[in-house]
């Protein structure tokens, strides 16, 4: 089947069917990894929809290819699709033209007419519209491609004309005041153009008093520029006069004469010219009528000679010094009659605001035969209206999807009728209004048949005589007759007194009647316009006034009923739309309160009810069928459906995930689910699948029988962004975070401009550890809604966690300002939960920046406003931490006691108090609080068990500590729990069971210091008797004893290790242990030698490869060391080698790779100070001192009593200070922590 298209193809390409298939095609294109999708595969089955759909598909295809850097030309499509119709071909040509413009190219329309001669005439029309609508200037399609010859400047001489000054410039030419040298320097107006036109030939045929004539025309041989010489009559145009402030308020024609003298640079003509006298003796409106008559005479002269002007407007009317108007700029003029429709179409042009409706339609459709002399009469009518009213009757429409649609909308507006003149300017004579309205009649047949008829009527108005062609209202006609015949009436007065009285009464009644009808109609028309502009308050006032004026008058009964109905309709419409806008405004904060941890669910539920109340959402079985919704425009109605769906869904989801046991609320949520499922459809805006799944979750919470859930599609096959978001939310509730992220990513992909989808994807990605993805999506959300504070709050919190404190501070301060503005706008006196969370985060940042005074100020502000809500309690907790760090132990203890007393179930407060006691050496108090924490969490929190183990170890209850440590390691195996277990075994003296066999690891066991050193030495002494002998037990005891002695830096460790080697010289393990001892004691060469000897015995021993790799890296041979580490990893070594690999990569200047390795090491062991130190050094290498300082602070928190490591941390922190004095407080705080006498696992701050 041929897909040749009709003239409607461009319009059909914007139909819902075409837009839908184009969107599906674009989605498939962006997903494709190899072969691009074929546009024809997406064509709809309905043959009527296919032409427009194919155009939409091909336009999408060419745009996507250009976006991808594949700049295909239209010829490629013509060769590939030989059945393309002319309209589709023209549309694709125009698409290529626009793409070139968007790429900063300057395509030439003539080039396209040469490339595609078969559609050249249609291309002229398309590019004509493009120039007209795109530039807003007068346009023509006769401008052919010519070399860019530079225009001359004032002061130059060209072809015998000395250019004095530039008078103006347009789309085609420049006009200069010039002196013609050959004729005694007579002043002339010289028009200079790059290309020739028919204007000289046209003007040569038009010899009229009110048309600017032509002296001569020539082409400059030196430049090739075309010159048109005309007499110089001054520089003042009608547009210049109308823009003058004095003229805008003029009441008499004398003001026009004064403005003419004031604005013209030439001297006023001596004597009393007829033009100036005619203007000065008339009122302003009659002076305009007199001018209009002269212009109409000029048009009649042109029309009689077969010439149409086509661009009548104030700037094309020159007003001479003696007050005479003269038409100029016949560059667009054409023959009034032609037999060639393509030729006629190709000559269309003009200025949009002055075009007749048939002119606009001809320009849109390319049919020029309907444009005739009456179109010039329409343009003159617009000119007269503008001169009288100070504004044009019609403005360029807004919201058109294409240039052709814009032209048709403009034509439709003109056909709706002309606004009244006298309703706002009663000084305009009724006769003159009748003339202007006939000029502006939508149908050409209803206008003046000739410009001569118009001239006669305008002259009649100017002379206060009866109209010959337009129909003047009877009262006005009678009054004007009375004024003209007042002398005769005076002589007959005695006979006509009674008749006069009766006639006057009749006239007055008729006048009042007509005036009342006109006033009501004008008010109703104004009300309709106000309603279209969504100014419903004004519309209601206008219709109310119209109904009052027409009430009780039989001849106005129909208008009265209509006005009253419209007033009620628009009053209700205004309320409904205002309610919808309020809901849209309130939805955003409510959405965040329902999804995050922002406040009480009960409060959020109440706000939801208040927000949805105007639309009876919670009381109507199917609110989507309410008649009120029909009063919303499509955009608001669709958004309302989506917003209500999301809010209800989020509320039900919040109820489903609320840990509180609230069966009544669960049942309410279930009923709501069932109601929604009663009217939901599989598609937007109420996707059924997620709601059914949510109903199943609620059933489980209520203990009801399981519901078979709809299986969700794979994210990659779902096109509905809302459906994707809701499935993602379901998966998150179910604890399937990876699947939830896939769904949220798909939602953001399907609707890239949706702020909310990007925000929630960022939030969840941040919780999942994908900080780069989170920052990227927070950035998208911020760019989509710069005045929304939530994304800035989320990004600020994430940046703070990453240590980018300066950037975090900027985001959080901006969020604070935006939240304050929202609070002021809503006139809320109490701080909102969002604002308090922002200030809490600002306190965190100050605390991390080493500014305890600033942090305390933020916390004090929160506590003063409300000490008992979540942010207030978190602020009290963090202030207690600041007190503890400053040595104010009792003050910190009082704060913790107060928090626990007011809420015994506050885990964070109780943990803070227990850690404070542990730090202060009050092991008994610490053990009591940790025991309560273990009880409250039913023994399922590994960290509480581990902390209680340390407290019990300090109390000497070693066996109980052992049980806690075992359970903590069972619940969550980790290197930290292994170190705790090792420490307890050491305290128990069970040195043969130690799971750690590296002296550096033994030296950083918890609860270190002198007690650890003593326990290590006791363990070594306990092994000494066993190490004597030649058996396996002696070998094992010697190896363990060597490690213990090395951990306390005892040189005897080397001797003991040598004894082990002597016992088993062919065992790789003995060389491993002695090598580790050598490395810890600083003998790197001996350590590497032992690693080599061990590998000779077992080349695949990963521990020996690790040892040699670490030694080589530390000895300045990072590449060789990296090779050993990589081989060990290939052979199955664990994550413990990531740190060593990071050291090698940093030495090789691969900072990004080093950061990646240390990050992986911390995933395995988040308590490793060496990994934090490594990351700090990498960040310093990249010049990111903020991030480096943050890593050093984390390292300090886990460094324990290791003087060497603490000294290194202080020295590295000093490298963060050059050029950054703001880092000094943080460095001082770090040094203070590094030299603390006793270390405990101590959080830097607490969050909600």
pLDDT in tens, 1050-1071: 999 999 999 999 999 999 999 9
Which residues are documented as binding site?
191
pLDDT in tens, 918-942: 888 899 999 999 999 999 999 999 9
Binned at pLDDT 50, 70 and 90, residue 524 comes out as confident
Identify which has the larger pLDDT, 137 or 969: 969
Residue 301: C-alpha distances to residues 381, 448, 710, 1194 (Å) = 18, 15, 80, 92
Q: Which of 151-165, 336-350, 1198-1212 has the highest mean pLDDT?
A: 151-165
Residue 962 CA from chain centroid, whole number: 57
Binned at pLDDT 50, 70 and 90, residue 331 comes out as low
What pLDDT is stored for residue 864 in this prediction?
Answer: 92
Q: Average the pLDDT over 241-253 and give the result.
A: 91
Q: What is the DSSP letter of 544?
A: H
Please report where in the chains the tokens 């045929």 appear, as a residue: 205
Closest CA to 475 of 510, 444, 449, 447: 510
Per-residue pLDDT at 157 exceeds 80: yes
Report the range of poorest mean pLDDT among 98-102, 300-304, 880-884, 1152-1156: 98-102
What pLDDT is stored for residue 877 in this prediction?
Answer: 93
- Domains parsed from the chain with CATH numbers: 9-135 (no CATH), 146-232 (3.30.200.20), 233-463 (1.10.510.10), 513-660 (no CATH), 1185-1248 (no CATH)
Q: Could you give the CA distance from residue 855 to residue 835 in angstroms, rounded to a whole number?
A: 16
Preceding peptide of 953 cis, ω within 30°:
no
The total of other beta-carbon atoms located within 10 Å of residue 813's CB is: 15
Q: Could you give the CA distance from residue 333 to residue 344 in angstroms, rounded to a whole number?
A: 12
Instruction: Indicate the length of the chain as a whole number.
Output: 1248
Per-residue pLDDT at 751 exceeds 90: no
CB 1001 within 8 A of CB 980: no
For residue 406, give both structure tokens: 């814009």
What pLDDT is stored for residue 293 in this prediction?
Answer: 96
For residue 1008, give both structure tokens: 């270190």
Binned at pLDDT 50, 70 and 90, residue 1177 comes out as very high
What pLDDT is stored for residue 366 in this prediction?
Answer: 59
Per-residue pLDDT at 957 exceeds 90: yes
Per-residue pLDDT at 1072 exceeds 60: yes
Per-residue pLDDT at 335 exceeds 50: no
Q: Average the pLDDT over 330-337 and give the result.
A: 51
Which residues are documented as binding site for ATP?
191
Per-residue pLDDT at 507 exceeds 80: no
Please report where in the chains the tokens 């410039």 appear, as a residue: 169
pLDDT in tens, 12-66: 776 667 777 887 888 788 777 666 788 888 887 766 678 888 888 998 888 888 8
Buried b (16+ CB within 10 A) or exposed e, 566-582: bbebbbebbebbebbee
pLDDT in tens, 846-856: 887 767 888 89
Per-residue pLDDT at 4 exceeds 90: no
SS3 per-residue string spanning 221-289: CCCCCEEEEEECCCCCEHHHHHCCHHHHCCCEHHHHHHHHHHHCCCCCCCCCCHHHHHHHCCEHHHHHH
Binned at pLDDT 50, 70 and 90, residue 341 comes out as very low
Per-residue pLDDT at 882 exceeds 90: no
Q: Based on C-alpha coordinates, what's the Rg of the chain?
A: 44
Per-residue pLDDT at 145 exceeds 70: no
What pTM value is reported for the model? 0.53
Binned at pLDDT 50, 70 and 90, residue 991 comes out as confident
Closest CA to 1055 of 1079, 1032, 1074: 1074
For residue 365, give both structure tokens: 């459709």
Supply the mean pLDDT for the chain.
82
Identify which has the larger pLDDT, 405 or 1028: 1028
Buried b (16+ CB within 10 A) or exposed e, 671-680: ebbebbeeeb
Q: Which of 111-115, 376-380, 423-427, 1016-1020 has the highest mean pLDDT?
A: 376-380
How large a percentage of the chain has pLDDT more than 70? 84
Per-residue pLDDT at 1087 exceeds 90: yes
What pLDDT is stored for residue 1162 in this prediction?
Answer: 86
pLDDT in tens, 1193-1234: 888 878 877 778 888 888 998 898 887 887 788 788 788 777
């Amino acid at each position: 089947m041929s897909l040749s298209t009709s003239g409607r193809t461009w319009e059909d390409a914007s139909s819902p069917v075409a837009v839908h298939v184009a969107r599906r095609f674009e989605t498939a294109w962006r997903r494709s990894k190899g072969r691009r999708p074929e546009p024809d595969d997406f064509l709809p089955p309905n043959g009527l929809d296919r032409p427009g759909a194919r155009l939409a598909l091909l336009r999408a295809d060419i745009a996507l290819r250009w976006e991808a850097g594949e700049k295909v030309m239209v010829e490629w499509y013509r060769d590939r699709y030989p059945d393309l119709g002319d309209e589709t071909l023209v549309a694709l040509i125009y698409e290529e033209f626009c793409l070139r413009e968007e790429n900063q190219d300057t395509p030439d329309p003539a080039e396209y007419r040469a490339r595609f001669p078969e559609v050249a005439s249609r291309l002229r029309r398309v590019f004509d519209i493009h120039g007209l609508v795109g530039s807003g200037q007068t346009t023509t399609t006769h401008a052919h491609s010519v070399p860019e010859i530079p225009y001359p400047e004032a002061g130059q001489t060209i072809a015998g004309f000395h250019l004095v000054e530039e008078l103006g410039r347009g789309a085609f030419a420049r006009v200069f005041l010039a002196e013609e040298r050959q004729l005694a320097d007579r002043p002339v107006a010289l028009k200079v153009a790059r290309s020739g036109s028919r204007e000289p030939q046209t003007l040569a045929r038009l010899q009229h008093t009110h048309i600017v004539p032509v002296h001569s025309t020539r082409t400059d041989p030196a430049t090739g520029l075309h010159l048109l010489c005309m007499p110089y009559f001054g520089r003042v145009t009608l547009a210049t006069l109308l823009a003058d402030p004095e003229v805008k308020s003029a009441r008499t024609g004398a003001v026009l004469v004064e403005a003419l003298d004031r604005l013209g640079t030439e001297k006023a003509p001596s004597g009393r010219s007829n033009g100036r006298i005619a203007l000065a003796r008339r009122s302003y409106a009659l002076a305009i009528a007199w001018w209009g008559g002269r212009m109409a005479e000029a048009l009649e002269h042109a029309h009689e000679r077969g010439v149409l002007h086509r661009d009548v407007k104030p700037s094309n009317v020159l007003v001479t010094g003696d007050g005479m108007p003269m038409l100029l700029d016949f560059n667009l003029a054409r023959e009034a009659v032609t037999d060639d429709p393509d030729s006629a179409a190709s000559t269309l042009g003009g200025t949009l605001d002055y075009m007749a409706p048939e002119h606009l339609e001809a320009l849109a459709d390319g049919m020029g035969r309907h444009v005739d002399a009456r179109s010039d009469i329409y343009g003159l009518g617009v000119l007269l209206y503008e001169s009288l009213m100070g504004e044009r009757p019609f403005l360029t429409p807004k919201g058109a999807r294409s240039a052709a649609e814009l032209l048709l909308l403009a034509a439709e507006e003109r056909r709706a009728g002309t606004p009244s003149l006298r309703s706002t300017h009663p000084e305009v004579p009724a006769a003159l209004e009748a003339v202007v309205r006939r000029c502006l009649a939508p149908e050409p047949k209803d206008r003046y048949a000739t410009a001569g008829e118009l001239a006669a009527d305008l002259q009649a108005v100017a002379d206060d005589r009866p109209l010959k062609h337009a129909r003047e209202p009877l009262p006005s006609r009678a009054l004007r007759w009375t004024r003209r015949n007042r002398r005769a009436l005076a002589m007959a007065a005695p006979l006509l007194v009674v008749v006069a009285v009766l006639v006057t009464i009749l006239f007055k009644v008729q006048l009042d009647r007509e005036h009342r009808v006109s006033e009501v109609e004008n008010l109703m028309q104004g009300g309709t316009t106000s309603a279209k502009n969504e100014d419903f308050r004004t519309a209601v006032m206008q219709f109310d006034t119209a109904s009052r004026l027409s009430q009780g008058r039989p001849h106005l009964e129909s208008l009265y009923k209509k006005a009253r109905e419209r007033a009620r309709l628009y009053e209700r419409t205004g309320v409904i739309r205002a309610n919808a806008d309020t809901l849209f405004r309130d939805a955003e904060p409510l959405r965040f309160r329902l999804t995050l941890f922002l406040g009480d669910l009960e409060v959020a539920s109440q706000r939801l009810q208040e927000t949805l109340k105007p639309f009876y959402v919670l009381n109507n079985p199917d609110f989507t069928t309410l008649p009120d919704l029909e009063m919303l425009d499509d955009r608001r109605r669709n958004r309302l459906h989506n917003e209500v769906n999301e809010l209800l869904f989020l509320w039900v989801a919040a109820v489903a995930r609320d840990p509180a046991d609230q069966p009544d609320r669960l049942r309410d949520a279930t009923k709501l689910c069932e109601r929604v499922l009663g009217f939901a459809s599989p598609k937007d805006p109420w996707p059924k699948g997620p709601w059914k799944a949510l109903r199943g979750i609620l059933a489980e919470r209520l203990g009801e029988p399981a519901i078979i859930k709809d299986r969700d599609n794979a994210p990659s096959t779902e096109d509905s962004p809302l459906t994707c978001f809701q499935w993602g939310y379901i998966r998150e509730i179910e604890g399937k975070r990876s699947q939830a992220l896939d769904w949220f990513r798909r939602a953001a992909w399907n609707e890239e401009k949706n702020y909310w989808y990007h925000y929630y994807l960022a939030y969840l990605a941040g919780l999942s550890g994908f900080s780069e993805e989170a920052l990227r999506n927070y950035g998208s959300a911020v760019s989509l809604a710069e005045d929304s504070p939530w994304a800035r709050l989320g990004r600020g919190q994430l940046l703070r966690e990453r240590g980018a404190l300066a950037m975090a501070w900027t985001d959080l301060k901006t969020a604070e300002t935006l939240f304050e503005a929202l609070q002021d706008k809503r006139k809320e006196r109490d701080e909102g939960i969002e604002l308090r969370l922002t200030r809490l985060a600002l306190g965190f940042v100050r605390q991390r920046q080493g500014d305890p005074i600033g942090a305390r100020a933020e916390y004090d502000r929160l506590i003063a406003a409300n000490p008992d809500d979540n942010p207030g309690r978190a602020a009290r907790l963090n202030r207690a931490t600041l007190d503890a760090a400053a040595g104010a132990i009792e003050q910190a203890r009082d704060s913790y006691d107060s928090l626990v007393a007011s809420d015994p179930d506050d885990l964070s407060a109780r943990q803070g108090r227990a850690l404070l006691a542990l730090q202060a050496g009050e092991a008994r108090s610490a053990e009591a609080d940790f025991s309560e924490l273990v009880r409250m969490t039913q023994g399922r929190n590994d960290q509480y068990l581990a902390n209680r183990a340390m407290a019990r170890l300090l109390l000497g209850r070693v066996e109980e500590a052992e049980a806690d440590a075992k359970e903590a390691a069972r619940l969550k195996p980790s290197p930290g729990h292994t170190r705790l277990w090792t420490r307890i075994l050491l305290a128990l003296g069970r040195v043969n069971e130690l799971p750690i066999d590296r002296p550096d690891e033994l030296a950083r066991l918890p609860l270190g210091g002198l007690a650890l050193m003593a326990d290590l030495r006791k363990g070594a002494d306990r092994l000494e008797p066993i190490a004597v002998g030649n058996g396996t037990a002696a070998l094992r005891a010697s190896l363990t004893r060597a490690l213990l002695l090395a951990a306390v830096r005892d040189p005897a460790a080397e001797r003991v290790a040598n004894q082990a080697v002597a016992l088993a010289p062919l065992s790789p393990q003995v060389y491993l242990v002695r090598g580790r001892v050598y490395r810890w004691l600083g003998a790197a060469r001996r350590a590497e030698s032992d690693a080599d000897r061990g590998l000779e015995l077992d080349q695949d021993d990963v521990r020996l490869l690790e040892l040699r790799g670490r030694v080589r890296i530390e000895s300045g041979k990072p590449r060789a060391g990296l090779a050993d580490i990589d081989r060990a990893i290939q052979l199955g070594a664990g994550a413990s080698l990531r740190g060593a690999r990071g050291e090698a990569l940093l030495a090789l200047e691969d900072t990004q790779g080093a950061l990646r390795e240390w990050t992986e090491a911390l995933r395995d062991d988040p308590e490793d100070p060496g990994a934090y130190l490594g990351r700090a050094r990498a960040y310093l290498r990249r010049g990111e001192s903020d991030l480096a300082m943050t890593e050093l602070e984390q390292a300090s928190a886990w460094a324990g009593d290791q003087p060497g490591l603490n000294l290194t941390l202080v020295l590295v922190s000093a490298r963060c200070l050059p050029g950054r004095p703001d880092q000094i407080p943080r460095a001082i705080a770090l040094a203070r922590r590094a030299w603390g006498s006793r270390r405990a696992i101590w959080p830097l701050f607490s969050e909600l």
